[in-house]
Structure formats: C-alpha cells, structure tokens
Copies of this chain bind each other. A is one copy, B any other.
Amino acid sequence: MLRKLKMGMVGGGDGAFIGEVHRIAARMNGGIELVAGVFGTNREKSLECGRNLYLAPERIYPDFIAMADAERALPEGERIDFVTVCTPNRLHFAISAKFLQSGFHVLCEKPVAMNLGEALELETIVKRSGKLFALMHNYNGFPMIKQARKVIASGQLGELRKINVEYSLGWLAAPNAGKQAAWRVDPKQAGISGCMADIGTHAENLIRYLTGLRIVEVSADLATFVEGRELDDDGSVLLRFDNGARGVIFASEVSTGEENNFIVKIYGDKAALEWHVQTPEELILRSNDAPIQILRRGWPGTGEEAAKASRLPAGHPEGFLEAFANLYDAFAGAIRTGIPGDYPGIDDGISEMRFLEAIVANSKGDVKWTKIGG
C-alpha cells in the first residue's frame, strides 16, 4: 500500500526563507511528510519551529548527529526516508556525509561544499553509501527549462556558439543587508566565494543542464564593491566551452534594484532561445528566417517536456515553488523506484566547485585563461 515518504530537515529555521521553500515544495504533491528536524543552532527556536510544523517533540533534535543516530535507530517505515540539508554552506559536507553514512538519502542545498576537496570526498561517500544524493539547483525544475533542454538536445538550435547568462540581484547593495546576507560573504560560512558561490553556481549549473557542454577555460573579474566584505559580491566571467562555443556569465548581488534577474540566452547556428526567471512560463525561440516563437508552459504545440513538469493549464501562472517541487518529485520518485531521475547530483556539485576554484584563482592572477579540469 501507498505510504508517504518521511522527510527530515537540517537547517531552515527562523529567518531562512529557503527552509520554508523546501517544506512547501515537499508538501506540494502530497506524497512527502516532514517528521523530524533540527531547525538551527538555537535549541529554543528550533523546538518552536518544529512544533509549528506539527512535528512530534521527540523528533526535534538538538543537532544533526543526534538526529542521524536516533533516526537510524527507528524501525523502518517510521524513520525518515531522506533528509534535506539547508544550512549555510559550511555544514553541507559534514551533514550530508553523516546522513549518507547513516543510511539515508540526502537532498542538499547548493553549493555542495566549501571547496572541491570536500566535493570529491562527498562523491566517494555517496558511492560507498549506495544512497541517493540530490543537489538543489532549483532552476532545473522549471518546466520551460526542461523544454529548453529538449529543444537544444533535439538539435533545433544547431551547433551552439554563444551562451550569455546574467544573474543580478540588488539585495547586497548596501553594507548591512541582514543575517541571511552576512553569512554569504563570510569565508568561514560560505567558502572561497560569495556572490559566485551563491548565484554564479546557478548560472554554471543551468548552462550545464541545458546544453551538456563543459566549460574548459575561464577568465574572470570578481569584485567586492561594499567595503569590509571578504568575499566577492559581484563578478563577470568569460567562458570557453569544449565545442568551441564562447560565453559570458555576469552575476552580481549589488545590482541595485534587481530582484532576482536570471536570464539565459543561448545561440546556435540555426536558432536561439531565451528564458527569464521572472517570466518563467515563456521560452523565446528565434531564428533568422521566421517569426519569433513564444513557447508557453502547458500550451499545445509547446512540447512534452514542459507539460510533464506542469500542474496547471497554460495561463494560470506557475512559479518558483512549483519548479522546486518538481525536483522534490523527481527525487521522491527516485527514492521509491531506486532509479536516479531528473535532478542534479554530486557530479553537478563537483562541476560547480571546479568552476568556482578556477574563477577565484583566475581573478586574482595576471594570466588570461585558466583551464578547468575534470
């Protein structure tokens, strides 16, 4: 008989918007229930948060180690099926490792770790554990991104030539942008990069997901505009791909007035496509000899990939939470069937770390291009 999957959560307590996002996404399709968690380091707040989420008090744990051990000790069917990790970057590796080694599937926020070393070590742990690992690059979950990927795979754009990605936010434009902002530019919490780790990795991952191309060389200019920050709050990167394509990623968290302006434009020798997260229901297709085509989620003639990832008819707008939920669905399906599905994994985490290390190194030096191995 059908039973709901049981989910645990580490992080995502008071003040962290992404925690509630994970919970809504998990709830959306009705097949997952949250049953255990650690919601931050403040025990009182964690307990209150857990109670507000209808958790049994005994399954609101003092720390992630206690949680992994206690859940492991529960009978099958009662213990959690997987854990979601949504703490600051610093703890991604340790928590993921602990739960994998305790026999649980793990869904972890990006970036996967503090550096490439941790990411590679986690890869080994994942393989040894025999458990599933998902990395939450949520943009992959948008229906029109899935459609775009299909369009590219079909060869409709021809040979890819140019990939331009912009990701602009304004929230860190002023010095004091709050607690959520502070840890993202603190090397002890965030790692070797601020803005690029936070959103540049989304750009890298989305290119990877959409095109399957590999970035082989980068030339970067990372910047810190707000005095006193130890990490980048802005950066631009020239890209060269393994097929000869070129590109640019420019990302910024000091782009005053921008909400969450993530734009992808991919040009092939036959056609091109464009997607904006703030109008996520549309995919713009252009060519040199026909009218522009606007593919819309759910619309006949738009394609199956978007339809499969949709809940609503066209014109009833879906958004960020639905995209997020698509990845939870894919991960839940994998847990039920044992077959990994359409969600990012540890290889995406390794790729983003290689990218980050390369651009940070390049940005500090005088050499034009830095190669990315892997």
User: Which residues of A line the B interface, CB within 8 A?
Assistant: 2-4, 17, 20-21, 23-24, 27-31, 34, 51-54, 157-158, 161-162, 164, 166, 168-171, 173-174, 219, 221, 223, 225, 234, 236, 238, 240, 246-248, 250, 252, 254-261, 265, 267-272, 277-281, 285-296, 298-302, 311-322, 362, 365-369
CB-CB < 8 A to A52: which residues of B? 2
Please tell me how many copies of the chain the complex holds.
Answer: 4
The distance in angstroms between the C-alpha atoms of A49 and B307, with both chains bound, is: 21
Contact B272 A248 (CB under 8 A): no
Contact B291 A294 (CB under 8 A): yes
Contact B53 A277 (CB under 8 A): no
Contact A316 B260 (CB under 8 A): yes
A319 touches which of B169, B240, B301, B319 (Cβ 8 Å): B319
CB-CB < 8 A to A248: which residues of B? 236, 248, 250
CB-CB < 8 A to A236: which residues of B? 238, 246-248
A15 to chain B minimum Cβ distance, whole angstroms, is 12
Q: Which A-B residue pairs are the 10 nearest by beta carbons?
A: A257-B286, A259-B315, A260-B315, A317-B319, A292-B294, A290-B301, A316-B320, A259-B314, A291-B293, A319-B319
The distance in angstroms between the C-alpha atoms of A37 and B34, with both chains bound, is: 23
Contact A296 B291 (CB under 8 A): yes
The distance in angstroms between the C-alpha atoms of A258 and B266, with both chains bound, is: 11
Q: Residue on B with the closest CB to A219? A: B219
Contact B234 A161 (CB under 8 A): yes
A310 to chain B minimum Cβ distance, whole angstroms, is 10
Contact B279 A279 (CB under 8 A): yes
Known: A28-B27, A290-B300, A291-B293. A280 touches B368 (CB 8 A): no
